[in-house]
Structure 1
């Protein structure tokens, strides 16, 4: 005989989930608004079906596809820039459709691209086995939140520039050469950065910056994806 706890567990997947939000006025965001929400995220996002067809591509993913460096879209289907990349994507898609998450890492020239494949349905469910693909986050210095952080902390333009250089991985001698100042000047600027932000070290400062929300700069109109101009134009 089942215990009450066992009965509760067995029925958990059938019980409605109450969030506390009022949904009596509709289902929430309409598709156009939802697409704009996803466009503001500092990661490329794509939703792909079992046949590899692209159902949604956000701003940064459209930019990646348009570049054709590693990924491209042909007749609405996600492909790689090479036969080998396409094969790896197809294998990762098949595993994601079986409920397994996969991570792929590609290096093309001096640029790296990572792709995480996340199943959006359970293998035993009857809904469409769509897969969410997340692309690499942009570099920290391209995150709009870093500049917002600089304004919030009342950093001067020079201090903001030094902060972005630190986020790019530059060392003090490199920053000094780039700005044509003495290393002692850069050290003084970093000291001011730490004092204004309340951080005791550069490491702590960079940890704070890396924890900022991933916000893209103002959206830009990009070149439409080849073969799919009508599907991936900027909303």
Structure 2
């Protein structure tokens, strides 16, 4: 027997009215969580990435990008806007952002002067929607990051001296330059390189550098955050 004073029709509708509100709350929570995870993922990459819209407003800039965008980089962030240091770069960057957002075009830009230039990859995200965005991937300044080099050294049991030689080679130094930096004979450096190659199974310095180049680009957990 029905004992409530509320009419049956109204009582049956109550859960249905609450459902949309609950679903909307769940969607907002899911979007917030997705944004949180995305930020964490971007912060772990040893590539500078900047998320922005076609107008150049920065939506997210990870730690690696903040470190890369110093006084020597052709790009800079002023407030929440990404800008070029040189006027000649402003047009190509603006055109690339607009083409990415409106037409879904990807491109590789080389910005800066001949003496101090840098490559930037422009990647379209969610084009033709209200929340369209563009991702900029900045060029790394070194072949292999500190964490990847340490992993490689631990994986193959390199000595501290061999690790330093490996770091120098990954930075583009020649064996002769490494010998000068360490104050040892070049024959010593060549012996250390031979030992690194033997431990890692690399047939040459080129193969050794290739092994470094394909390592996951992750930032060290001991990094110092930039405010």
- Does 2:150 match 1:144? no
Q: Which has the higher contact order (CA 8 A, sep 6+)?
A: 1
Q: How far 1:213 moved relative to its partner?
A: 0.6
RMSD: 2.3
Q: How far 1:30 moved relative to its partner?
A: 4.6
- Does 2:87 match 1:83? yes
**2:26 alignment counterpart:** none
SS in 2 for 1:133: strand
Q: How far 1:184 moved relative to its partner?
A: 1.4
| Partners of 2:151 and 2:32 in 1: CA distance | 29
| TM-score normalised according to structure 2 size | 0.77
| Partners of 1:169 and 1:65 in 2: CA distance | 22
- Does 2:124 match 1:116? no
Cα distance change, pair 179–57 in 1 and its aligned pair in 2 (3 A):
same
Q: Which has the higher helix share?
A: 2
- Does 2:45 match 1:59? no
**Unpaired stretches in structure 1, ≥5 consecutive residues:** 1-24, 223-232
| TM-score normalised according to structure 1 size | 0.75
SS in 2 for 1:205: helix
**1:186 alignment counterpart:** 189
| Residue correspondence of structure 1 range 1-235 to structure 2 within 5 A | 29-65=33-69, 67=71, 69-97=73-101, 98-108=103-113, 110-122=115-127, 125-217=128-220, 218-222=222-226, 233=227
Larger Rg: 2
